[in-house]
C-alpha cells in the first residue's frame, strides 16, 4: 500500500502541531507506522491522501452512525450555513433537539448543550458537587470522562495508549477527591462509599466501557451502582457520550433499564459536528445558571450547525428497526472475527452491544482495566496493520471501542471478515 502522501503530510504536521496530530491516539504511537491522512469519506468508506480506500470502523470515534457525508446531514448543514453558522443567542433548534433527547431518555428531564464530552463531564461533576454539598467522586479505572484535570486518574483511552501514568501538569491536590475502583466490582465501590461516608457526591461510569477497549457491564453491575448510590446518598452519572444513541435509541440506560441522576451525551447527538450535553433530574438541572447558582457557559454551545446535524441524525435513527439492523450486522462482524481467530488458533475475546464492539487477544474474558492490560498488544498491532493493508480501518489502539454504521452493507461486513481471516494468520 502506497503511503507517500501521508508520510509527507505527517512530517509537515509534526513541525507545527505537537506530535503532528490534534488528539493523541490519531498518531499511531502505540501500533507504530504512519497515520493515514484522510482526504474524504463516503458512507462506510474512507479515502486517504494517497487514494487508498478503507472500510471504516472508527467513524470519527463514534459520531457517524449514518456514515460519512450522509445526504440528509449534508443538506441540513448546508441549508443552515446559508442562514448563519452561529449567533450567540438562543434558537428554536436547541429546544427541538433537547425535546428529542428528553423524550428518548426519560431520566433526562432537562438538558444543557455544550461543545465536547469533556465539557459535559466537567460540568456535570461540578453540578453534582453543588447539589449534594459533597466533594469526592468515584470513577472507574480505565473509564475516560474527558481530559479534565480531576478526571485524569486511571483514565484509559489515549492515556493508556501512550503509557502515561496520568498526566504531568495535574496537581495531586486536584485529583485528591477522585477515587477509583475497578470496573464491574461492586464490592470495591461499596468499600469506598463506607470509607468516605457522606463525602461522595457522585459515582461516574461509562455504562458500557469504550476507553479501556470494549468492556460491557456484567449482569447486575449497573443496577448495583444505582442501589449503592441511593443507599449512600450519592448521585449516579452515566457518561453516555459514547453509548448514547449508539447501543440503543434510549442509550445504555434504556437498554439496561437503569435510571441515572445525571447523563452526559455527545458524539451521535451532534451528527459529526462538535456537540455534547449533560442532563438529568429537573431539580438538579435547575441549579445550572442562569436558573441557579452553578455557573457554566460556552460561546458555541448549541450552535445551529451542530443542532441541525443532530436533529437530522436523531430523526434518521429513530426509524423503527434501525437498531435491530445495527445490532444484527455488528453481531455478524464479531462472530466472523471470532471464527477467524479460532481457525488461526489464537486466544481471542470479542463482544458487541448495539453498534459498539471490540476484541482482545486474550485467553480469558476481559472485565476491567487490569484484565484489559493483560491482552497481547504486540499481536493486536500485527493484526491492526494486516487489516489496514487490506483496507480495513480500525482504531489504532487496543484500548478503544469500534463502531458500525447504517452505511455498512452486508457486502462490506463480509469483505471485512474475509480480510480478518487473512490478517489473523499474520497476527500469529
Calculate ∠ Cα 397-399-405, nearest 5°: 80
Cell 489473523 belongs to: 424
Catalytic residue among 136, 139, 267, 373: 267
Provide the grid cell at 321.
428497526
Q: Cα 98 from chain centroid?
A: 20
Catalytic residue among 185, 239, 261, 376: 239
CA–CA gap between residue 49 and residue 39 (Å, rounded): 5
Catalytic residue check, 393 = no
Provide the grid cell at 108.
433526562
Tell which residue, 155, 128, 158, 129, has the closest CA to residue 144: 155
CA–CA gap between residue 319 and residue 370 (Å, rounded): 39
How many other C-beta atoms are found inside a 10 Å radius of the C-beta of residue 230? Answer: 12
Catalytic residue check, 295 = no
- Residues 283, 287, 291, 296: is their CA dihedral positive or negative? negative
Residues 34/10, Cβ–Cβ less than 8 Å: yes
- Residues 309, 315, 316, 318: is their CA dihedral positive or negative? positive
Residues 10/35, Cβ–Cβ less than 8 Å: yes
What's the DSSP call for residue 44?
Answer: T
Q: Across the strands, what pairs with 180?
A: 139
Catalytic residue among 131, 144, 249, 256: 144
* DSSP SS3 for 126: helix
Q: Which residues contact 226 (CB under 8 A, 6 or more apart)?
A: 236, 258, 259, 260
Provide the grid cell at 360.
482482545
DSSP 153-219: SS--HHHHHHT-SS-TT--HHHHTTEEEE-TT-HHHHHHHHHHTTTTEEEEEE-SSB-SSSSBPPPT
Catalytic residue check, 239 = yes
Tell which residue, 187, 186, 191, has the closest CA to residue 205: 186
φ, ψ of residue 307 to 5 degrees: the values are -65, -45
R_g of the chain, CA atoms, integer Å: 21
Provide the grid cell at 23.
488528539
Q: Which residues contact 194 (CB under 8 A, 6 or more apart)?
A: none
Q: Which residues are catalytic?
A: 144, 239, 267
Amino acid at each position: 500500500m502506497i503511503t507517500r502522501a501521508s508520510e509527507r503530510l505527517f512530517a509537515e504536521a509534526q513541525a507545527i502541531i505537537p506530535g503532528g496530530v490534534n488528539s493523541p491516539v490519531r498518531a499511531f504511537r502505540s501500533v507504530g507506522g504512519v497515520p493515514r491522512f484522510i482526504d474524504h469519506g463516503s458512507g462506510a468508506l474512507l479515502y486517504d491522501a494517497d487514494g487508498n480506500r478503507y472500510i471504516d470502523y472508527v467513524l470519527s470515534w463514534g459520531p457517524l452512525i449514518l456514515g460519512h457525508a450522509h445526504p440528509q446531514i449534508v443538506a441540513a448543514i448546508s441549508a443552515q450555513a446559508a442562514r448563519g453558522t452561529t449567533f450567540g443567542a438562543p434558537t428554536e433548534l436547541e429546544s427541538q433537539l433537547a425535546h428529542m433527547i428528553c423524550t428518548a431518555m426519560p431520566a433526562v428531564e432537562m438538558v444543557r448543550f455544550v461543545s465536547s464530552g469533556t465539557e459535559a463531564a466537567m460540568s456535570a461533576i461540578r453540578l453534582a458537587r453543588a447539589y449534594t454539598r459533597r466533594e469526592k467522586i468515584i470513577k472507574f479505572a480505565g473509564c475516560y470522562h474527558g481530559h479534565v484535570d480531576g478526571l485524569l486518574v486511571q483514565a484509559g483511552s489515549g492515556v493508556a495508549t501512550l503509557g502515561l501514568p496520568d498526566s504531568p501538569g495535574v496537581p495531586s491536590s486536584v485529583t485528591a477527591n477522585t477515587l477509583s475502583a475497578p470496573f464491574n466490582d461492586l464490592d470495591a465501590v461499596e468499600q469506598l462509599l463506607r470509607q468516605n461516608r457522606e463525602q461522595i457526591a457522585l459515582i461516574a461510569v461509562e455504562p458500557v466501557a469504550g476507553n479501556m477497549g470494549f468492556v460491557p457491564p456484567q449482569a447486575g453491575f449497573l443496577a448495583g451502582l444505582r442501589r449503592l448510590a441511593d443507599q449512600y446518598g450519592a448521585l449516579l452519572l452515566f457518561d453516555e457520550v459514547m453509548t448514547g444513541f449508539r447501543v440503543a435509541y434510549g442509550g445504555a440506560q434504556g437498554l439496561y433499564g437503569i435510571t441515572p441522576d445525571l447523563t452526559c451525551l455527545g458524539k451521535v447527538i451532534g451528527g459529526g459536528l462538535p456537540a455534547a450535553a449533560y442532563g438529568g433530574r429537573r431539580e438538579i438541572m435547575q441549579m445550572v445558571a442562569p436558573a441557579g447558582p452553578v455557573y457554566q457557559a460556552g460561546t458555541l454551545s448549541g450552535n445551529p450547525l451542530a443542532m441541525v446535524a443532530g436533529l437530522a441524525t436523531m430523526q434518521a435513527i429513530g426509524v423503527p428497526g434501525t437498531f435491530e439492523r445495527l445490532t444484527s450486522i455488528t453481531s455478524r462482524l464479531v462472530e466472523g472475527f471470532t471464527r477467524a481467530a479460532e481457525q488461526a488458533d489464537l486466544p481471542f475475546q470479542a463482544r458487541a452491544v448495539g453498534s459498539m464492539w471490540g476484541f482482545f487477544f486474550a485467553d480469558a474474558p476481559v472485565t476491567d482495566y487490569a484484565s484489559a492490560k493483560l491482552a497481547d498488544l504486540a499481536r493486536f498491532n500485527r493484526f491492526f496493520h494486516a487489516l489496514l493493508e487490506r483496507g480495513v480501518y480500525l482504531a489504532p489502539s487496543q484500548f478503544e471501542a469500534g463502531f458500525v454504521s447504517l452505511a455498512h452493507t452486508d457486502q462490506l461486513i463480509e469483505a471485512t471478515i474475509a480480510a480478518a481471516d487473512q490478517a489473523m494468520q499474520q497476527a500469529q
